[in-house]
Structure 1
Amino acid sequence: MLEGMHYQNAYVCDDLEAGIDLFRGRGLSREPVIIPVDQTVLTPSGPRRQKGRICFIWIGELQYELIENEIDEVGLYANCLFNGGPLRFHHICFRVPDWEDFRTRVDAQAFPIAMERDLAGEPDGALKFLYLDARGVFGHYIEYTWMPEPMWQHIRAM
């Protein structure tokens, strides 16, 4: 399952500030904002906690997400093994235009859902995302996301 607009490559790092330093002089035009994340996600085994820090770096039309993991009850980031460098490739992300239509097709495709979250009922917005475990075919996870246009414009401006 590959659909939507590919806009992000994501990397796990043990030191977020060191990861950001690697982008200086390589197209980083403004200082990224570091965002603390502490959330409960749905998994095939039930709700699990994910806690860490992330930042988004835009270079052209591609967003680089850097993820520093602190608590990973899902095991989604901890299974991204050390590769000898400060950044470890983890997933790509696609933005889909119609979540309900997309979500109906997810259950009919072969990649298992690793985790999922729908923030529609929460005060911070209507972001929806899920990760498919495509490691057996592509060697990485695939994230899909949907958000209202004002939220997308906010993320683009970060």
Structure 2
Amino acid sequence: MFARPNSHHSQIAYVTNDMEAAMARLAAEYGTPGFFEMSNIQPGEDPAGKPVLKIALAVVGGVEIELIEPVGDTAPLFSDVLPDREGLAICFHHIASRIEGPMAHWDAHVASLDLAAHPVVFEGAVGDMLRFIYTDERATLGHYVEHVWMSPDLLAQMGAIVPAYPAVENAA
């Protein structure tokens, strides 16, 4: 699962019931002063049949931290880990392994997985820019694993807009 060519651990993801409060908590208690915020649904896009998620990203020490707030009852894969109680909840959900290089590396990665033993529970794509699957590893690891590939252009765009801490200084 983890020891695959062109693949490396890139992200730790948490689900929350209150994005603003979760970002404030991570800033106050863990020194993450800012996030790039987005939704998985684009303006004007019909969300029917899709999970609706608020997402916040920051890179801390070279690892991306993702906060996810499921909206309504559209995303049980994400909301099911949240406790049924009042107050802020921030719950571990998954790690991500990013596949580097051309899309052929993605195809080889997915082909190398035993999907009977590691079933896909969620998947998606955005044109030729993004591919992802979530495998259910809860029985052995206690969490999901996201496998993700981004085109070099998308990876560069994300690198430019997602804040990194400590800040990366440009060499002059």
Q: TM-score range by the shorter chain?
A: 0.7 to 0.9
Q: What does the per-residue CA deviation read over 1:87-119, in whole Å, with 9 as the maximum and x for residues that have no partner?
A: 100000000131110121235561100011121
Query: Which residue does the alignment assign to 2:93?
Result: 90
The answer to whether residue 140 in structure 2 is matched with residue 137 in structure 1 is yes
Matches within 5 A, 1:9-158: 9-25=12-28, 26-29=30-33, 31-38=34-41, 48-71=49-72, 73=74, 75-82=76-83, 86-97=89-100, 98-107=105-114, 110-120=117-127, 126-157=129-160, 158=162
- Structure number with higher strand proportion: 1
Q: TM-score, normalised by structure 1?
A: 0.81
Letter of the 2:2 counterpart: L
8 Å CA contact retained: 1:49, 1:71 = no
Aligned alpha-carbon RMSD (Å): 2.4
Return the alpha-carbon distance in structure 1 between the equivalents of residues 2 and 49 of structure 2.
Answer: 26
Residue 142 of structure 1 deviates from its aligned partner by 0.1
Structure 2: runs of 5 or more not aligned: 163-172
| Residue number in structure 1 paired with 2:168 | none
1:51/1:69 contact within 8 Å kept: yes
Structure 2 counterpart SS, 1:152: helix
CA distance in 1, matches of 2:72, 2:27: 28
Q: Distance in 2 between matches of 1:83 and 1:111?
A: 28
Q: How many residue pairs were aligned?
A: 147
